[in-house]
């Protein structure tokens, strides 16, 4: 997405990632980003004048770089769970002639910097991930830390406010402005019970396996029905095959595949750092003897994988990026899969029946076969013939 964003004297052009096939119907920021910047810029100016050293600025969950770009030049620490968000922010700063040299990138698995002066937080819709973020913040905030938070008004629920009260201190929400609201929390240094939520563990039906799910992982509390169908239609691969689980989530497909196939090598890849951690924990707890056959990679689709290197790719593709419903991420997955597959290699996916993936795969690979279906999902397979 290439769209002009203006806030006072700031004029930015923001681009929604990935850029290989931009979706011009999507905007790379929303009113909550604007509200956060409206409040944060005067605070940053004041801190810059008062402090003897440059302010320590921490930005959390900046999906496409609007907050980072809006603050402009200067040192920033950016914490995100998404590889795509990191790439988008880096790209948008470059496009807007902002130097990335002073930017420190953290994943959702990294410790936050101590005693930040200013924290900008875009509230995620996933409440378990919000709790993960707030628990980490509670370990590093001080009485002097200024916290600027906003979200769409409909997303600021009693549960969200309760999480802020629990981890940060007394909390209230502002009146609605541009269909968004601020969250104002008063830091309470003696607050208790600030540990991050534990990983969820639940048994996989009809097996002796237990799935491990950290915050912000798709289908964290139960097996999604698409994956359930896919588990019954996993491929039988030849000995020594190299298989990629693209968008692996908690690793359920890889777990079952490894249990069924005694001699194959797997690469589990996802754009979420917490998903990769979940998949690694799932395999470690259930099939520790097979960890030597696995690689775990946080990646933008298959960017880090070589051409003609995989025999099979299995995928339960998403139909959203952050909060936006879109199929362009799946489209990039399919293009990357064709590049990475060997000649004769196969891509097998599960997809919602109403999505146009069969047509996309037919156009890309020259053919696509439907292997199975239920009322909501289909199993599709394409072979790379050249």
Q: How does pLDDT run across 170-198, given as a tens digit for each residue?
A: 999 999 999 999 999 988 876 555 777 88
Quick: pLDDT tens for 94-130. Answer: 988 999 999 999 999 999 999 999 999 999 999 999 9
Answer positive or negative: Cα dihedral of 362, 364, 367, 370.
negative
Residue 5's closest CA among 20, 16, 17, 18? 16
Question: What average pLDDT does the chain have?
Answer: 90
Mean predicted confidence (pLDDT) in 42-56:
96
For the chain, how many residues are written?
386
Q: What is the mean pLDDT of residues 49-76?
A: 95
State residue 321's pLDDT score.
Answer: 44
pLDDT band at 325 (very low <50, low <70, confident <90, very high): very low
Helices then strands, counting H and E runs in the chain, come out as: 10, 20
Q: Which two tokens stand for residue 270?
A: 């996802």
**Average confidence (pLDDT) over 143-171:** 95
Give the pLDDT score at 198: 83
Greater confidence (199 vs 322) lies with 199
Give the pLDDT band of residue 375 (cuts 50, 70, 90): very high
Cis peptide before 18 (omega within 30 of 0): yes
pLDDT of residue 262: 84
Its pTM stands at 0.92
Q: How far apart are CA 307 and CA 242, in angstroms?
A: 13
- For the cut 50, the answer to whether the pLDDT of residue 224 exceeds it is yes
Render pLDDT for 338-361 as a digit per residue (tens, 0 to 9): 999 999 999 999 999 999 999 999
- What is the reported pLDDT for 80? 97
Poorest-pLDDT segment among 93-97, 290-294, 295-299, 318-322: 318-322
Give ∠ CA 233-237-238 in degrees, rounded to 5: 160
pLDDT at 324 over 60: no
Give the Cα separation of 63 and 338 in Å (integer). 28
Contact 290, 258 (CB under 8 A): yes
Tell me the percentage of the chain whose pLDDT exceeds 90: 77
- pLDDT for position 319: 60
Q: Can you tell me the mean pLDDT for 189-218? A: 84
Confidence of residue 322 (pLDDT cuts 50, 70, 90): very low
Within 10 A of 149 (CB to CB), how many other CB atoms are there? 26
Closest C-alpha among 54, 217, 216 to residue 135: 216
Give the mean pLDDT of 43-59.
96
């Amino acid at each position: 997405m290439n769209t002009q964003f203006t806030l006072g004297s700031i004029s930015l052009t923001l681009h929604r990632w990935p850029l290989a096939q931009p979706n011009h119907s999507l905007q790379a920021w929303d009113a909550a980003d604007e509200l956060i910047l409206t409040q944060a810029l005067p605070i940053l100016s004041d801190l810059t004048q008062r402090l003897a050293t440059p302010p320590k600025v921490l930005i959390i969950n900046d999906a496409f770089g609007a907050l980072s770009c809006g603050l402009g030049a200067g040192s920033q620490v950016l914490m995100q769970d998404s590889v795509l968000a990191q790439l988008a922010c880096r790209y948008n700063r470059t496009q807007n002639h902002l130097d990335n040299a002073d930017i420190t990138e953290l994943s959702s698995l990294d410790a936050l910097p101590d005693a930040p002066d200013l924290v900008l937080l875009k509230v995620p819709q996933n409440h378990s991930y919000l709790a993960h973020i707030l628990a980490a913040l509670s370990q590093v905030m001080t009485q002097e830390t200024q916290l600027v938070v906003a979200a769409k008004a409909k997303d600021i629920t009693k549960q969200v406010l309760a999480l802020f009260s629990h981890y940060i201190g007394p909390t209230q929400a502002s009146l609605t402005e541009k269909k968004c609201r601020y969250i104002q929390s008063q830091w309470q240094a003696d607050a208790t019970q600030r540990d991050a939520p534990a990983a969820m563990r639940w048994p996989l039906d009809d097996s002796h396996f237990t799935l491990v799910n950290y915050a912000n992982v798709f289908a964290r509390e139960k097996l999604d029905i698409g994956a359930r169908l896919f588990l019954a239609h996993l491929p039988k691969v030849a000995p020594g095959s190299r298989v990629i689980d693209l968008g692996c989530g908690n690793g359920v497909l890889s777990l079952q595949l490894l249990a069924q196939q005694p001699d194959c090598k797997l690469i589990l890849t996802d754009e979420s750092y917490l998903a990769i951690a979940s998949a690694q924990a799932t395999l470690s707890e259930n099939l520790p003897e097979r960890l030597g056959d696995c690689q775990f990679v946080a990646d933008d689709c298959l960017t880090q994988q070589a051409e003609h290197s995989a025999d099979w790719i299995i995928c339960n593709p998403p139909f959203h990026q952050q909060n936006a419903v879109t199929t362009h991420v799946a489209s990039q997955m399919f293009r990357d899969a064709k590049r990475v597959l060997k000649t004769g290699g196969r891509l097998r996916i599960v997809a919602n029946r109403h999505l146009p993936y069969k047509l996309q795969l037919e156009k890309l690979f020259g053919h696509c076969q439907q292997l199975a279906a239920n009322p909501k999902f289909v199993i599709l397979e394409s072979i790379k013939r050249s």
